[in-house]
Structure 1
């Protein structure tokens, strides 16, 4: 009996330690960081995706002068990071949109609905005065790894 309880205790400690490990997520399919930050950090089953803007992962330059064009590229950049962590947009539970002109949000929502399906992630949209590189929009997200089933509140 002592051997089994020791084994179970060791397994629990190992699992808890995994929950607190930080792992950097990086991909060349999203622009390289231009400052001291990571594209994504996974802590346990949770992935924190940095705020992405509409820059090309190849050239590092803005792909569009429109908010919609930049939003499309930012979502593609975020998706690349999420995929690099072995997840999909189905795993995203929270999105934050920083936008320099809130009146552009209805057009951004049309793009957003091409990437996310119901039930949509929780979301905040905030108008800001400036975003680095004169971007018009920045999108950040949080994803959780694990078996989720769309349309169901149960986890299997």
Structure 2
């Protein structure tokens, strides 16, 4: 799928993939850490895949021939059928602050709605001020800490959980 971001004059292509070779440039630049790398490997079928997932999709964003970002959706087996989580949302540093992350997030919201979900949830580290600001600007509402909201669904209990109501956005 090719998206024309007319305000930037760029063409972003979104590729749904499980080919780990497509992730290598991102893994080198994004600072998600070892857990991110392992989860990408597992979700793409290398090593044993987590059995706790009922649904998952991984997308790469490319600009011309260069992979610039990654985004995903996933749902845990024991989650509400209305909730899907943002997985691995990241943009290579040299492409940040240009509106491309907003384009990617809007597409991810659209995909989640097309799959029939009503809420999009995300967690991020309490010290990741850029991500906290990004999610708030993207219309997400802060619910609280992972310890309070869903202690069994994140790596760190100090993570902050946000949610986005997909139905409201669709009706507007």
TM-score, with structure 2 as normaliser: 0.32
Q: Which has the higher contact order (CA 8 A, sep 6+)?
A: 1
TM-score, with structure 1 as normaliser: 0.34
Q: Could you say which structure has the larger radius of gyration?
A: 1
- Higher-strand-fraction structure: 2
